[in-house]
Amino acid sequence: MSMPDALSLITFGAGLLALGMVWLLATHLKWGRSLAVQLGLSGTAGGAALLLGAVSLPLALSLALGAVLILLLLVLRSPVPRRLLDLLSRPMIQAGMLTVFGVLVLAFGFYRIEAELQEHLAESDALMASISREVDFHPTPILTVQTDRGNPIELWTPTAESVEDLTTFSEQDYLRRMRLESSLIHTGPADGDYNCHGWVFTGGRYWLRGQAVETILQDNGYQPVSKPMIGDLCIYRSPQGEISHSAIVRGLGDKGLVLLESKWGKLGRYIHLAHEGHAYTGHVPTFYRSTRTGHLLRGLPTEQAVSSDLTEE
């Protein structure tokens, strides 16, 4: 049987803590000194907590834990040999044990939340590498274009083997493993011919390295903004400060909700939330705006592009 998840542990721990507090309260009230009243109160509290835990714990496990717990308390209160069980049969000791155990389970639950988060971040980073970094380029750039200040920007194309690798990489499997199937709107097919930066700045025709985006931001007049508008640029940076992803603002909602569209490495294009529900977990988004028209670089060929600019679609 696999270990219960963090939510299950926290729920069950909270139930045990509540059970201990109710038991403790019963022992300090005159009417609560009756064994029947104590068992009734604690049984009600424990049962409610375990039923709540059944939302995330398997029902059979919840019932089994509840049965074992109540049985143990009944045995400790029954007229069995008292010399060995006298200490454990005291209500204060029982309440203390339940309370301490509940706190320990709660603490372990919160620890599991942190551990699961770190596992998810590690998996996210590994999967991101599989869709964006494991791409072999031709040894020389296929084209050099310019920023508005005339600085050169090299554009790249992947080798045929890298493009063919798409046939062995399951986009749906990736989204399932990242738990993102229900949080995305698919807007473009998987395509190894361009990446996220290439979609934004070249109209979806080439790969553009992340290091070049810093130069583009400076030369093309982009300024960071706190309140984005539709059509603005969104740049993600890794915890090390490196540019990892580019996207375009496509929608705005209440309470700061921002919808983006972006190309994910060699996968497809998606509309997704800016701050959650995407593959770039742990990477910080910053919004940029420029007075120029669109985001395409200067010197691109004039053939039809998979453009990121709303005015050109």
pLDDT in tens, 125-157: 555 555 555 577 888 899 999 999 999 999 998
What range defines the domain where residue 89 resides? 6-119
Residue 307 lies in a domain: yes
Co-location of 83 and 221 in the same domain: no
Residue 112 lies in a domain: yes
Co-location of 175 and 292 in the same domain: yes
pLDDT at 55: 46
Is the pLDDT assigned to residue 183 strictly greater than 70?
yes
Q: Which of 61, 63, 52 is nearest to 15 (CA)?
A: 52
Co-location of 259 and 204 in the same domain: yes
Domain boundary among 84, 119, 154: 119
Domain boundary among 119, 153, 186: 119
Residue 132 lies in a domain: no
Domain boundary among 119, 149, 174: 119
* Per-residue pLDDT tens digits for 69-92: 666 666 666 665 555 566 666 777
Positive/negative CA dihedral, 114, 115, 119, 120: negative
Co-location of 149 and 114 in the same domain: no
Co-location of 141 and 260 in the same domain: yes
What residues have CB less than 8 Å from 234, skipping those under 6 apart?
Answer: 228, 246, 247, 248, 249, 258, 260, 262, 274, 285, 286, 287, 288
Residue 131 lies in a domain: no
Co-location of 110 and 230 in the same domain: no
* Total domains, the chain: 2
Co-location of 155 and 302 in the same domain: yes
Q: Which of 216, 193, 213 is nearest to 269 (CA)?
A: 193
Co-location of 84 and 221 in the same domain: no
- Please state, in angstroms and rounded to a whole number, the distance separating the CA atoms of residues 209 and 205: 13
Residue 68 lies in a domain: yes
* Per-residue pLDDT tens digits for 216-270: 999 999 999 999 999 999 999 998 999 999 999 999 999 889 999 999 887 889 9
What angle is formed at CA 144 by the lines to CA 139 and CA 149, rounded to 5 degrees?
A: 140
Co-location of 291 and 143 in the same domain: yes
pLDDT at 166: 60
Residue 272 lies in a domain: yes
C-alpha distances out from residue 12 to 15, 73, 99, 308, Å? 5, 17, 12, 49
At residue 22, φ and ψ (nearest 5 deg) are -65, -45
Residue 145 lies in a domain: yes
* Per-residue pLDDT tens digits for 13-63: 776 677 667 666 666 665 555 555 555 655 555 555 555 554 445 555 655
Co-location of 63 and 208 in the same domain: no
Co-location of 258 and 147 in the same domain: yes
Residue 125 lies in a domain: no
Co-location of 23 and 71 in the same domain: yes
pTM: 0.59
